[in-house]
Chain A
C-alpha cells in the first residue's frame, strides 16, 4: 500500500510539470495584455505601458518566463498578481472560505438528494416515484445554471423580494443575525448548483444500484431471508458506490475551483470569479496559481478515489 502510494505520488510529478508547461504556453500564446485599459486612454503615454510590460518581465521569451515562474513556485512563492500586486496565495486564501462554504454546501446538498432518491428509485424501478424522480432529474440537469439562477432571481428577489441577489462577503451583523443573513444570500447559489449536481448524480446512483440489484449475491441474500433494508444498505449500495465515488471524487476539486457562471450571476466572491476576472485581465500569475492548484487537486482526489475503491471492494488490491 505504502509502495503504491509512493509510486502514484512520483508519477504525479511529471504530470504536474506537463500540465504547468501546457498552461503556461497557452497563456503566453493567448493575445492581449493586462494593460489593455491604458491603451484607449489618451492621457497615458504609450511608453508608460511599454515600461510596465517590461517591469513585469512580459517582454522576455516564454521559456525564460516559465522557468522563472517554476523556480519561484518550487520555493513556495506563488508570485504577485499583475493587476493588484497582491501575492497570489493571499488572493486565493481570501476567496477560499466563501468558495468552500457555498460550493461545498451545494455538493453536500447534491449528495443528500442524489443518494436517497437514486437508491429508492432503483429499488422500485418504473414505479411512480421512479418516473417522477427521473423526469425531474432530466429537467434538472438539462437546465443550465445561468438559466435557473436568473429564474430564481426573478422569482425570489424581484417578484417576491425575499432574498438578496448580490452576495456580500462582509455582513455587518453578529450572532444569529449574521447566520440568517448569510443563509438568505447563500441559499440561491447553493440551490442552483446543488440541484443541478444532484440531478446528474441521481441518474448515476440509480443506474449503478440497478446494475447491482440484479446480481446473484443479492438474490442469495434475499433467499436467506435477510430484511430488505439490510440487503439494500449492506449488499447493494456498498457495491454500487464504486462508480459513484469516482464521480464524486472527481467533482471535489470543483469545490475549490468554484463555479464561474453561478458566482458571476450572484456576485459571489469565490475562486471562480477570481479566475474569470484574472483571465479577462490577462493576469498570468493568478491564472497559473488557480489552475495549478486545481490540477494538483484533481490528481490528489483521483488518488483518494482509488484508495476508497479498496475499502469499498476488498477484492481490489494495490500493486
Chain B
C-alpha cells in the first residue's frame, strides 16, 4: 500500500464514507496492527472516540474498600522528587503521588491525566506548523494539601527543571522549549522549530508536576534540600503516609481525588530491596505481595513458580533491545591520547564481509529458547516499537556455512591455528559485556559458533557498575569501547524513536573531546543516516516520518555494525485477581488509580 492509498483511505474516514473499524480492518489486512492504524488516524486529525480504549475498563463502583495493595521492588526508592530521582525505581515511587499532564498507554497512545484532553490538530491543541502545543488542564484537580492545581504549577515545573543550578535529571526535556501561561488552566509549550514529537515536556515520568507553593523557595542550588523531596504533596489518587529511603514507602487513599470511584485500595505499600527471585516467590508462590516489579529471573524458574496457580507473569513489549556492536574504529591504536578514535578504522570490521559473517554467527533462536525465554524474543530490527516504526525489511539468519563461504570469498584464509587472517590482520576479537549471567551465556554461544568459522573471540566481562559508569578515567566503560565488539541492552523510554535513534548520528560520536558522553558509542557514521535524521526531526507528516525511521533502522542494521539479538520486554509478576494497568512506555505506577482487585 502506498502513501497515496493510505491518505485516500484516511480521507474517507474523515468524510465518514469509511468507518473507523473498516479502516482498522483494512490496515490489518496489509499487516499493520490496530494500534498503529488508530494512531495513523489520530495523527491525521481524525478524532478518536476516546483514548479509554487503550486502557482496560475500571470495575469498582465506589471509592475505597479495597484494603491494602502491596507492591514489591527488588530495588528500593531513595528519593521522591521526580526531577532528581535517577532510575526507574525513584520515578515510579514519586509517580505514586505526582501526576503528569498525560501518560503513555501500552499501545503508544497518550492518555490524559492532569490534562482535560489530549491536544490534537482538530481541538486546536496542536499548531499546524508544529511549533507549539496547547494543553488544557483539569479544573477540578487539587493538591493533597487542598490547594488548587493550576497553570502556574505547570509553568513553575518548567522553570524549575530547566534551571542549571537545580541540576534536574529532567532538564533535557525542558531547556529547549518555552512555556507560556495562557490562562489559569491553559498552558502553551512553544518549540524553536517544527517538532513532530511534541509529547515530551509534562508527559509521563519526566512530566510529573510538583507543587509551586511548596517548592518555590527551593528553585535554585538549594533544590535538593527541599523538605518535600522526601514528603511529597501531589495531586494523585494516593496520599503520602511515610517513607524510609532504601526500604519502604506507604500511601493511603486520597478521599478528594478528582475522578469518581477512584482509587480502589485504602492503603498502598511499596517495599524495596532483596533480590528478584525471592520477589517472584513472594507474589507467585506465597501471595504475600500483590505485584512484583521487573522480574529479571530465568524464565524456567518463573514458569515453575507460576504453576502454584496464584499469580501470573506479565510481559509488556517495549523498545528495549539487547544487541552487539562491532566497533567501526580501531581500539588498539592510540591517536591523540585516545583509543577507538574516529580518525582510525577497524582493521577487520571495515570489511563488510567480516561484519556480515559476524551477523550470521549468532543463533538468536538459541538465545530466545535457552537463555531469555519469554523475556527475550529474537529480533532482526534495532527499532522494534511502537509498531508503526517497525521495519518489515530486515531478516536474521544463523548459518555458519554461509559465513565461512563469505569469508573464503573475501580472501580471509584460515591459518595453521585455524584462525582466519588476511595480510597481518587476524580475525581475533575482544568481545566485552557486563557481568550478568545471560550475557555470559550469550558470549559463550557466540564464541562457539565463531570458532567454527575461523574467528576467535576473546571474552571479557566487566562489572556492571564499572561498565555502565561515566567515569572518564576508567578504560573499561562501555562508552569508551576499548574493545572490538561489545554487547548490552539499550532502553527506549518514549513511544517515539527520535531520541532512541540519535545513537547513530555522526555528531553524537563518543570521543575524548566530549568526555565520551556522545550517544553514538559504536561511532557509526553515514551521511544518508544523518540527513534522514535531520529531516525526521522536522517532518510533520507522520507517515513520511515513520518511513524515515524505518529507513534509518535498515541502514544501521544492514551495515552489520549493529547486530540486534533479542527484544527485552518488561516482565513483572502479579496475583491473578489483581487488575493492573501496565505500559511499556511509562512507569509501573503510571495509572495506579485504575488498579483494582476482583473479589
Contacts and interface: CB of A to CB of B under 8 A. Distances in A.
A36 B273 CA distance: 18
Contact of B79 (A31, A83, A169, A280): A83
A40 to B, nearest CB: 6
A94 B473 CA distance: 35
B321 to A, nearest CB: 12
B368 interface: no
Given A47-B517, A86-B245, A264-B274, A36 B493 contact: no
Interface in B254-291: 269, 271, 273-275, 278, 281-282, 285-286, 288-289
Given A44-B172, A85-B79, A85-B225, A39 B247 contact: no
Nearest to A280: B465
Interface string B209-238: 000000000000100110001100000000
Contacts of B519: 42, 46
Contacts of A165: 278, 281-282, 286, 288
A267 interface: yes
B474 A31 contact: yes
B476 interface: yes
Nearest to B74: A267
A109 B213 CA distance: 52
B32 interface: no
A137 B84 CA distance: 50
Nearest to B173: A43
A86 B289 contact: no
A42 B88 CA distance: 13
Nearest to B84: A85
B248 A31 contact: no
Given A36-B469, A49-B470, A84-B246, A42 B517 contact: no
A50 B72 CA distance: 32
Nearest to A49: B470
A185 to B, nearest CB: 11
B469 A39 contact: yes
Interface residues of B, number: 66
A184 B502 CA distance: 53
Given A31-B476, A165-B282, A277-B246, A42 B86 contact: no
B369 interface: no
Interface in A27-42: 31-42
A161 B242 CA distance: 29
Nearest to B517: A46
Contacts of A209: none
B491 interface: yes
Contact of B86 (A37, A47, A94): A37
Contacts of B500: 42
Best-buried of B84, B244, B514 by chain A (most CB within 10 Å): B244
A48 B167 CA distance: 6
Contacts of B224: 85
A274 B86 contact: no
Contact of A166 (B86, B169, B288): B288
A153 interface: yes
A269 interface: yes
B248 A170 contact: yes
Interface in A153-205: 153, 157-158, 161, 164-166, 168-170
B278 A265 contact: yes
Interface in B64-91: 72, 76, 78-79, 84, 86-88
Contacts of B468: 36-37, 39-40
A99 to B, nearest CB: 12
Interface string B504-535: 00000000001101110000000000000000
Contact of B493 (A43, A51, A55, A166): A43
A43 B206 contact: yes
A31 B515 contact: no
Contact of A48 (B172, B248, B492): B172
B242 A170 contact: yes
A318 B11 CA distance: 99
Interface of B: 72, 76, 78-79, 84, 86-88, 164, 167-169, 171-173, 206, 221, 224-225, 229-230, 242, 244-248, 250, 269, 271, 273-275, 278, 281-282, 285-286, 288-289, 465-466, 468-471, 473-474, 476, 479, 488-494, 499-500, 502-503, 514-515, 517-519
3 residue pairs, one from A and one from B, having the closest CB atoms: A46-B517, A269-B247, A84-B78
5 contacts: A31-B471, A31-B473, A43-B499, A45-B171, A48-B167
